[in-house]
Structure 1
Amino acid sequence: MPDQAADGTAEVLFERRGRLGVITLNRPRAVNALTAGMAAAMLDQLTLWTSDDAVAAVLVRGAGDRGLCAGGDIVAIYRDMLDGGDATAGFWAGEYALNSLISDYPKPYVALMDGLVLGGGVGISAHGSIRIVTERTRMGMPETTIGFVPDVGGTLLLSRSPGEIGTHAALTGAHLSGADALFLGLADHFVPSANLVELTRALENEAPDTAVARFSEQAPASVLAAQQEWIDACYASDDAEEILRRLRTVGGEASDVADTIEAKSPTAVKVALESLRRVRGLNLEEALEQEYRVGLRFLAGSDFREGIRAQVVDKDRTPHWQPPSLAEVSRTDVESYFAPLGDRELKLAKERDNV
């Protein structure tokens, strides 16, 4: 069962409205940040709905007006890291199984990606079959800011974006507009936020494709699409230092982007870049297994903990990365994050075969 909020309400709610199964993430004060209990409850309920003929489609949304989901509960992860990180490893195993189920869900899975959709929020939405953004969408994988790398299948999603736009999004952790999310292939439809209540009502009895088409509109132009030429040229390298050199050579806005990347965890930047290169050609389960391998290595290191401390716990915004520069992160260091875990390996493909 999911955990309960301080007022006794469940942190994720499930209901059936007509032929629609509705999932509501219910931690509005935390922008619906995902906990292990919420992920486990979603996995159980979605599994039940696969064989429930009364449910023709599923909708996931966030309570409140700030966003679908601001990602995993990183304060809980921080506290767990101080105790060894075992609970976080378990959380990720369940969360990644949920991402895998969503990606291959046998019924239409409609995600309302309104407001903030970050990190784990991407995992419960961008793997769905009908992904809706609005003019309020602010989507992203900001993990390098806290000394971590994109996960929940984010490396695979970003690796499939046009050109090197996904690499840019991963290394900078930039927030994407709804239009940018559409351009990157992370969403399918643009619906004004004012129409979401009516759309939800229509989904209760209409076929999702029909209802969504009726409320969809032309999205604004993507800013990143207009920047693709210099982004592709700068990020085509597999070497992080070379990417920064190219960005500074272009100058202007690209030079500002180089400054942004340089402020991130050097280890996270290099491992994120390597993750995106290695994930090409993998399926989602294989990508999640790679992300799990990398994630456990970050749990054992110092930058992930230090990044959360600086950004969320103490909020001094002055993380002390170890090592402090890209040049000091060796190729051997990077490759160590991808080394096999032995009996700790996540084996999602096998688990999915047994569901």
Structure 2
Amino acid sequence: MGLSEVLRPVSRFSSFKRTQIILQHLGMSKHTDSESEVFLERKGCAGVITLNRPKVLNSLNFSMIQQIYSQLKKWEQEPETSLIIIKGVGEKAFCAGGDVKAVSEAGKAKQKLAQDFFREEYMLNCAIGTYQKPYVSFIHGITMGGGVGVSVHGHFRVATEKTVFAMPETAIGFFPDVGGGYFLPRLPGKLGYLLALTGFRLKGRDVQKGGIATHFVDSDKLTMLEKDLLALKSPSKENVAEVLDTYQKKSKIDQDKPFILEEHMDSINSCFSASTVEQIIQNLQEDGSPFALEQLKIIKKMSPTSLKITLRQIMEGSSKSLPEVLIMEYRLSQACLRGYDFYEGIRAVLVDKDQNPKWKPAKLEEITDEFLNDCFKSLGNDDLRF
């Protein structure tokens, strides 16, 4: 089934259903590429990372994460490399996430990959967030989950009219990880809370207007933009920003359209400012607008455990540094692997594809504070360390 067929009837689907379609594709990863899954090349002044698994929307597997991390560390030390560019092969996706199906299988079999995958992935996210050289992501096409993790923490994120951003993890019994606890609460108002709990999708220029991307460029200009960046002579962040600004100024697509959520921001800010998921649900009910009721419908389909973990993750993350957030998220990843809903979410969305997860516990009120505290607890020697 080609992705075009999957995405064509999008208007008929709720965002929950669309999320599941994307997640299905993430689960399709087969390690059959004889070609390299990621290209790491020096071009001009830059180290260029190209994700090369277009058949599975360039989703990240363990080996890609390791290769990118070690190469980034090398490039950081090389005086002749003064810029990093990361992009994906094909028109469909920059990177639709991490290989969650492989992690789920490893977790069930009690294999080490379940610990190692998230440990290495979060170390990569942290390395990008603290990188000493300008780091530019071309987030063209679908950018979700792990794809957000390898882009959003860098200095520059260039969206195009084909960008689709989402963090849909609550639909699979997980939480918006890869530093979601850091960048989501720092978006305007309570926007990040909406994105985290519902998996709401932002597209095109809205990805920039919502604060995820730093720049917006027409997709047919990306090749020229890359050439101009590669031609720079040991550029500073200011030099890179200048080139990106020039391209952005020429872009006219949806230039005057208001941010898709602009008219709903007051409602989002008041409904999502509650400190419990139960109160958010009540606020949405009382708001009663078609928008609020649509979000309510979506939230009610998500894993109750994921919703509770996610809200606390975002609230706590709002005052933590990126490394502190990733340490917290590593603890949460291991809690999800000890639990039930992650495996059930992967089963329903990626394995049996019946789209009908049976969450346990099924009700928010069945999730105790004691259980939540346990999810956030230190893992002692097994904690993530930088």
TM-score by length of 1: 0.94
Which of residues 213, 222, 229 is equivalent to 2:259?
222
Shift of 1:4: 10
Shift of 1:178: 3.5
Structure 2 counterpart of 1:351 = none
TM-score by length of 2: 0.87
Change (3 A) 1:293 1:85: farther
CA contact (8 A) 1:69 1:117 kept: yes
Structure 2 counterpart of 1:344 = 382
Stretch moving more, 330-339 or 120-129: 330-339
Which of residues 300, 309, 312 is equivalent to 1:262?
300
Q: How does 1:1-355 map to 2 (within 5 A)?
A: 5-206=31-232, 207-216=239-248, 217=251, 219=255, 220-251=257-288, 252-348=290-386
Shift of 1:157: 0.4
CA contact (8 A) 2:181 2:318 kept: no
- Comparing both chains, which one has the higher relative contact order based on Cα–Cα distances under 8 Å and sequence gaps of 6 or more? 2
Structure 1 counterpart of 2:14 = none
Q: Deviations over 1:184-211 (max 9, x none)?
A: 3221000111111111111111342232
Shift of 1:325: 1.3
Find the aligned partners of 1:280 and 1:347 in 2 and give their Cα distance.
20
Q: In structure 2, the residue corresponding to 1:257 is in which secondary structure?
A: helix
Find the aligned partners of 1:4 and 1:277 in 2 and give their Cα distance.
37
Find the aligned partners of 1:7 and 1:337 in 2 and give their Cα distance.
37
CA contact (8 A) 1:293 1:340 kept: yes
Counterpart AA for 2:143: V
Shift of 1:173: 0.9
Q: Deviations over 1:202-237 (max 9, x none)?
A: 111134223212211364431123311000110111
Q: In structure 1, the residue corresponding to 2:358 is in which secondary structure?
A: coil
Structure 1 counterpart of 2:13 = none
Q: Deviations over 1:86-141 (max 9, x none)?
A: 21211111111111111111111010011111001011000010111111111111
CA contact (8 A) 1:249 1:255 kept: no
Shift of 1:5: 5.0
Counterpart AA for 1:225: E
Find the aligned partners of 1:85 and 1:147 in 2 and give their Cα distance.
20
CA RMSD of aligned residues (A): 1.5
Counterpart AA for 1:299: L
The number of aligned residues is: 346
Structure 2 counterpart of 1:352 = none
Find the aligned partners of 1:288 and 1:83 in 2 and give their Cα distance.
25
Shift of 1:59: 0.4
Q: Deviations over 1:133-180 (max 9, x none)?
A: 111111111100000001110111001111111101000011112333
Change (3 A) 1:311 1:240: same
CA contact (8 A) 1:183 1:225 kept: no
Counterpart AA for 2:243: A
